[in-house]
Amino acid sequence: MTGIICSSPVYEYKGWTFEYRRHGFTVPWPLCKDGTLRKRAGNKFWEMWSEWRNLPGDEQETYRVRGV
């Protein structure tokens, strides 16, 4: 049996590791060092996210570290 496994794209920017799928109804969320989702996303994360979100799409992709 064969299958396809997809994961959310993971980015690293300004010391934060987070996952974010551009399409759909998902929101970005910070990850712990072991790759699990953090319980909370505070103001510092959302400030970084605002900065990253305003980068051009091709520049955002330079920060992708894994995922589809």
The pairs formed by 39-46 with CB atoms below 8 angstroms and a separation of 24 or more are: 45/16, 45/18
Residue 21 included in any domain: no
| Domains in the chain, number | 1
Answer yes or no: is 34 within a domain: yes
pLDDT of residue 2 exceeding 90, the answer is: no
Residue 15 maps to a domain? no
CA 41, CA 32: separation in Å to the nearest integer? 11
Q: Quick check: is 38 in a domain?
A: yes
Give residue-wise pLDDT tens across range 49-67: 999 999 999 999 999 998 8
The answer as to whether 11 is a domain residue is: no
Any domain includes 67? yes
Residue 18 lies in a domain: no
Q: Let me know if residue 20 belongs to a domain.
A: no
Determine the structural domain holding residue 64 and report its residue range: 29-68
pLDDT tens sequence across 11-62 = 999 999 999 987 766 789 999 999 999 999 999 999 999 999 999 999 999 9
Query: Does the pTM of the predicted model rise above 0.85?
Result: no
pLDDT band at 6 (very low <50, low <70, confident <90, very high): low
